[in-house]
Amino acid sequence: MINEHNQLQDNLAAYALNALDPDDIPALETHIKTCASCQATLTEYQRVSAGLLAGLPPRPPRPALKRILAAQLPGNANNVRARFTSWSLAQFAMAGAVVLLLGINLFSLFQVRSLQDQQAEMTRQQETEQTALSILAYAGTQSLPVSGEGLTGSLLLDRDRNAAVLFVWDLPLLTPNQTYQVWLIDPQGKRISAGLFNAVTGRPITIFELSSPKPLSNFTSMGVTIEPRGGSPQPTGPRILSVNF
Binding site for Zn ion (CB under 5 A): 5, 35, 37-38
The contacts of residue 92 (CB under 8 Å, 6+ apart) are none
Pairing of strands 178-185, 205-209: unpaired
Q: How far apart are CA 73 and CA 76, in angstroms?
A: 6
Nearer of residues 177 and 220 to Zn ion, judged by Cβ: 177
In whole angstroms, the minimum distance from the beta carbon of 230 to Zn ion comes to 9
Kindly state the smallest distance separating residue 32's Cβ from Zn ion, in Å.
7
Q: Which is nearer to Zn ion, 230 or 235 (CB)?
A: 230
Structural contact between residues 144 and 155, judged by C-beta atoms closer than 8 angstroms: yes
Give the whole-angstrom CA distance, residue 156 versus residue 213. Answer: 18
Query: Closest separation between CB of residue 183 and Zn ion, Å?
Result: 24
Q: What residue number has its CB nearest to Zn ion? A: 35
Burial of 171 (0-12, 13-18, 19+ CB in 10 A): buried
Q: Which is nearer to Zn ion, 32 or 135 (CB)?
A: 32
Cβ proximity to Zn ion, 11 vs 128, nearer residue: 11
Exposure string over 194-206, b if 16+ CB within 10 A, otherwise e: bbbbbbbeeeeeb
- Provide the minimum distance between the beta carbon of 191 and Zn ion in the complex, in angstroms, as a whole number: 25
Give the nearer residue to Zn ion in terms of CB position, either 5 or 159: 5
Query: Minimum Å distance from CB 25 to Zn ion?
Result: 15
The smaller minimum CB distance to Zn ion, of residues 148 and 230, is found at 230
Shortest Å, Cβ 12 to Zn ion = 8
SS3 readout for 172-197: CCCCCCEEEEEEEECCCCCEEEEEEE
Of 241, 101, 113, the C-alpha closest to 177 is 113
